[in-house]
Structure 1
Amino acid sequence: MVETIYGCKWSLTVYQLLANGINRPGEMVRNVEGLTTKVLNSCLKKNAEFGIIERIVYNELPPRVEYKVTDFGTKFIRILDEIERLQDEIDNEAALSANKT
């Protein structure tokens, strides 16, 4: 699961958008250069299947769909943040070691 989500370069971007209150797919595509509707939909679907985000469909015309991070997703994103911090520490230590030689 972590590999699948972390392997999709857009997942982290989607989490950031949701954290910033951008929760509609059209808004997401407009806010991120290079992100296509097709790729976004695939990313959202994977994240929803894993229970990280929830798809909310409103019974309106025209149809409105929004996404939000689930309680599980909040915990999962915290773990990803910690992994990213750990990677930064590893990279910094490697750079320091390289500079000493």
Structure 2
Amino acid sequence: MNNNEKLFSRKTAPQSSARMVEAIYGCKWSLTVYQLLSSGVNRPGEMVRNVEGLSTKVLNQCLKRNVEFGILDKVVFNELPPRVEYQVTEFGEKFLAILDQLEALQQEIDEKA
């Protein structure tokens, strides 16, 4: 082997997933929305009624971002009055599992401090 040959190239952080994690943690309501969905609360009006301080405008922004990332899926029912529900996608399940691991890691760090 030649001494001038490089065995490894510089490793960089994954850009898209890192941005997703940053955006989700940057939105103070996303984790609350996931908690609501896991509790069976999947309609926006119901979410606003169940969380003090959560406005419809902010919730809609949060839900839209999560749908764009592919974490949540918006289900529109063709009925009157109109009904919309949100559900976690298959990709979202994987993403939420990673967030759970980050939370467990943080708890471990907190216990050592």
Normalising to structure 1: TM-score of the pair? 0.91
Normalising to structure 2: TM-score of the pair? 0.81
Residue 52 of structure 1: how far off its partner (Å): 0.2
Structure 1 or 2, whichever has the larger Rg, is 2
Matches within 5 A, 1:3-22: 3-22=22-41
Q: Match of 1:80?
A: 99
The equivalent position to 1:28 in structure 2, one of 18, 28, 47, is 47
SS of residue matched to 2:22: helix
Residue 25 of structure 1: how far off its partner (Å): 0.1
The equivalent position to 1:53 in structure 2, one of 60, 64, 72, is 72
Q: Match of 1:62?
A: 81
Once the two structures are aligned, what percentage of the paired residues are identical? 74
Say how many residue pairs are matched: 94
Q: Which has the higher contact order (CA 8 A, sep 6+)?
A: 1
- CA distance in 1: counterparts of 2:40 and 2:110, whole angstroms: 31
Amino acid at match of 1:21: G
- CA distance in 1: counterparts of 2:99 and 2:27, whole angstroms: 13
Runs of 4+ in structure 1 deviating by more than 3 angstroms, as ranges, are none
SS of residue matched to 2:73: strand
Q: Superposition RMSD on alpha carbons, in Å? A: 0.6
Greater share of residues in helix? 1
